Structure 1
Amino acid sequence: MRMKDYGIWHDITWTQYYQNVKKVAMGLHALGVKRGDHVAIVGENKPEWLFSAMGVMSLGGIFVGVYTTNPVAECEYVVGHSESVVFFCEDEEQFDKALAFRDRTPHLKKCVVWDMEGLKHFNDPMLMSLDDLMALGEKTDQENPGLYEKIVEEGKTEETASIIYTSGTTGPPKGAMIGHQNYLWIARATEKITKMETKDETISFLPLNHVYEQIFDMMMHMRAGHIVNFTENTDTVMNDLRDVSPTLFHAVPRIWEKYHSGIVLRMADATWLKRTVFNICFKIGSRYNTYKLSNKPIPWYLYLGYQLAYFSVFWKLKERLGFDRV
């Protein structure tokens, strides 16, 4: 995987990934987290999200994602309803939410913060940095060689891996239990459709507490071995997309609608000739894809028309969007 920090992309190898997950798992084990316990996670898409979630799962725990935009009341509901014993928080802002409701969530014992900026001199028995947790995990692993591998081997596919909570727009959020076998089945099905390989690259920007992003960043990542690229922040997605030029881009319908509306608005300000050429090419592309997706033979004249449209319009558009390798 790769992450962007202050404009520079940093690589994380599979060995580093494994070691970090192991340290998190053994650190949680030292804190008393056991198989079947719930651990909540709130944070933007970062490698730390994967270290935390995979660490919980490999220990036999159940991770519970929380939206970063959730107010205190909704965070409290998810953490309390799931009876989470540990809460991974990205930074001070998210940790402050936990401080506001911790007296009302008796199961919560520890908050592990990834970024300690602003909290380094804050003394609280509930607070622990991710670095300290991983140091504890490394020490525990050295004192108990082979224990981590034994715990992983004891895991069963029918066990629950995560709980995904709904957004709660029509009532209290509801938790959907996702099993390891569910994730494995989805990964196999996705692999058949996408044909992803180790040379492929994706970009992570949808919320990681959403199962759709988890499929590509966690389950398919483990199965296909492709490179997951984490954007610097939500404001740099478009620039980061052009930087990476992923070979596969996954998004929910709302994202595709925003792309479409953005293109349409840009074309509305274009010259009459450019608008006309674009509209003709768009119709050709639409007809071509109708044949393509239904596995019907493509007429020769439509094939030639599409090639002309692709190299005159679509290629430039894909390049500008960062889709030139998709």
Structure 2
Amino acid sequence: MQGRGLRLPSPRSFSPAPPSNDLWTSQRDGKVQLRLEKESFANEAPLTVHDLVVDTTTKYAHCIALGSKQRGGWHMLTYIEYYEECRRAAKAFLKLGLERFHGVGVLGSNAEEWVIASIGAILAGGFSVGILPTSSPKICQVIAESSEMDVFVVDGDRQLQKIIQIQGSLKHLKGIVQYQEELQVTQPNLYSWKGFLDLARGVSDEELDQVIDSQKPNQCCTLVYRLSTSGPPKAIMLSHDNITWTTAAAVQSLAYHCPPGRQEVLVSYLPLSSIGVQIFDMWVAIWVAGALYFAQPDALKGSLVDTLREVRPTSFVGVPRVWDRLLDRVKTAQLARTPLRRSFDRWAMRMGLRANKKQLSG
């Protein structure tokens, strides 16, 4: 783990170590020296994740924060509700026995529960560990063992079965939480999302606040695993400052807007296990008090376009294959149209491009 930005080496170990003022560390409870530079953006005051979340919540408490499609309609959370749910999740993790600097694995499709579990894990003093939904049980086991994972959060029965396969070999595992679908199996350490959040009643605000107050910007709060074809997954350690500083730099570079002038609207559809996706979906959205809508699990199989039409995002992040698929869909649709309509489509796209270029240049 290094101070400032996301230039991070893979750690060699996660064994406990005393606090350090070195420029980098591979110890799970280590600290790094933040390299502040005068007269530079790198001189911005360091923030923890909680600092970022509570600052936005204080300023924009009643702005829409999250939107999820449920039974044909959109379920919305405001920023104050979002923050309260993150605190409930953090208390529930503490009740389950989450230890300081131990992992909480989040394995499943993008959803409000995914981001609430991730932030809740950090507020509770653990590591948020996003896992690619296509990961095999063996990959999940390696990640769980190396991060000393105390809790797994999964979306449905398919992911749950992976964890049931390996839970006998996970010596730190204290609980499994399923946030979508009805539970199809019963076991002592398995909770529905509602049952999990109900555990928060056993933890006081004071107990959680003590944990939050003990966190420092130069400490690790997130692990991102890089998959390799030649060996086991390698962990990348991210500090609070890695996340909050990089988010601030992205916002400054891309000129996002904040309420009340205009609220940014974003759509989350790429796997949140990627740190690049987390920065633009989770953290940029919070920094600018944007409204983050979650696409359907089959977004990349075709439903993404329907979500984009309905939500009309002001900002959209896509990898090359996404743009290629969108272009293919446009071309396929044009083949079925008359020559006059195709000509009109080309004119409309040229006008749209010109208008957006003018808007970008002010």
Deviation at 1:277, TM superposition (A): 8.3
Partner of 2:297: 233
| 1:1-326 equivalent positions in 2, closer than 5 A | 1-115=66-180, 117-119=182-184, 122-141=185-204, 145-196=205-256, 197-198=258-259, 199-235=263-299, 236-264=303-331, 310-311=350-351, 314=353
Q: What displacement does 1:85 show?
A: 1.2
CA distance in 1, matches of 2:72, 2:342: 36
What is the rounded CA distance, in whole Å, between the counterparts of 1:174 and 1:205 in structure 2?
24
Mapped partners of 2:277, 2:71: distance in 1: 24
Q: Whole-Å Cα distance in 2 between the matches of residues 29 and 136 of structure 1?
A: 9
Contact 1:33/1:61 (8 A) holds in 2: yes
Q: Deviations over 1:99-124 (max 9, x none)?
A: 101112222221111135143xx331
Considering only aligned residues, what root-mean-square deviation do their CA atoms show, in Å? 2.6
Contact persistence 2:132–2:271 (CA under 8 A): yes
TM-aligned CA deviation for residue 49 of structure 1: 0.5
- 3-state secondary structure, aligned to 2:104: strand
61 and 44 in structure 1: CA distance in 2 versus 1, 3 angstrom threshold: same
Would the aligned equivalents of 1:2 and 1:10 in 2 still touch at CA under 8 Å? yes
Contact 1:7–1:232 (CA under 8 A) maintained in structure 2? no
**Secondary structure in 2 aligned to 1:148?**
helix
Aligned counterparts of 1:125 and 1:225: Cα–Cα separation in 2: 39
Q: Give me the TM-score of the superposition, normalised by structure 1.
A: 0.79
Question: What displacement does 1:63 show?
Answer: 1.1
More off after superposition, 169-178 vs 49-58: 169-178
CA contact (8 A) 2:95 2:202 kept: no
Match of 1:9, SS state, is: strand
Q: Is the 2:96–2:174 Cα contact (8 Å) retained in structure 1?
A: no
Task: Tell me how far apart the structure 2 counterparts of residues 7 and 30 of structure 1 sit (CA, whole Å).
Answer: 34
CA distance in 2, matches of 1:268, 1:57: 50
SS across alignment from 2:325? helix
Q: Give 3-state SS (helix, strand or coil) of 1:146's partner.
A: helix
Give deviations 1:224-264, integer Å, cap 9, x for gaps.
Answer: 11000012332422111100010001112221233234445
CA displacement at 1:42 relative to structure 2: 0.5
**Gaps in structure 1 of 5+ consecutive residues:** 282-307, 317-326
SS at match of 1:49: helix
Identity percentage over the alignment? 26
For 1:83, give the aligned amino acid.
E
Distance across 1 between alignment mates of 2:99 and 2:137: 27
Gaps of 5+ in 2: 1-65, 356-362
Larger Rg: 1
Equivalent-residue separation in structure 2 for 1:272 and 1:170 (angstroms): 52
Q: Counterparts of 1:276 and 1:46 in 2: how far apart (Å)?
A: 40
Between the aligned partners of 1:165 and 1:218, the Cα distance in structure 2 is: 18
How far apart, CA to CA, are the structure 1 residues paired with 2:213 and 2:326?
44
Tell me which protein shows more helix as a share of its residues.
Answer: 1
